[in-house]
Amino acid sequence: MIFLSWSSVLNYDINHKGATAKPAFDVEQDQELSKTGFSVNNARVLVGSGLETFEKGKSALQNWRHFNLNWAFVDPKTPIQSGIKFCVCTKQIFPWILMPLEILFVDESRDTNNNKASFSFGSGTLQGHLLAGEERFSITMDNNEDVWYEILSFSKPANILSHVGYPYVRFSQKKFANESTTAMKKHLSA
């Protein structure tokens, strides 16, 4: 489900575009995000070790395995490329809700000794999404060869429905982080 015909724009201040490309600590300490009403969420879990686990984790992100949930999904054929518009489909209180996003950046790096590696991508919410903000998914291998999966986001309500239901929205974000990290651990241990 790639929506190439969408002409929607980001539904949050362009000055915050790409903020999730920064390290999590910097995003969590960003006073401008806080002043403008955004909440920052961060979940980071150890999912294994070694280059093989990192490569499998990278492939999982590229194929949207982290969204392989009963109540939320992204079409696994959606390419991970800057500028691609896509939809998160989620079943909450209502029937399926479609939330449009755009991939803002894709970043991959390795050190020369291959001891450290990182793959991440971040997406921003478009007009029509219940929330305003960004989310980054990353898989990293540190210099100890431990492999980490991380979700980093900042968001705030984008319309009256999400504003009224914001406590439920926050609960759903935490539920997603928990279930997504569980899905990644399960996939990488298989």
Q: Rounded mean pLDDT of the chain? A: 89
The confidence band for 3, taking pLDDT boundaries of 50, 70 and 90, is very low
pLDDT at 180: 95
The average pLDDT across 107-126 equals 91
- Write out pLDDT tens, residues 149-174: 999 999 999 988 888 988 888 898 99
| Complete domains list, the chain, with CATH | 14-189 (3.30.530.20)
pLDDT surpassing 90 at residue 104: yes
The proportion of the chain whose per-residue pLDDT surpasses 70, expressed as a percent, equals: 94
Q: How many residues does the chain have?
A: 190
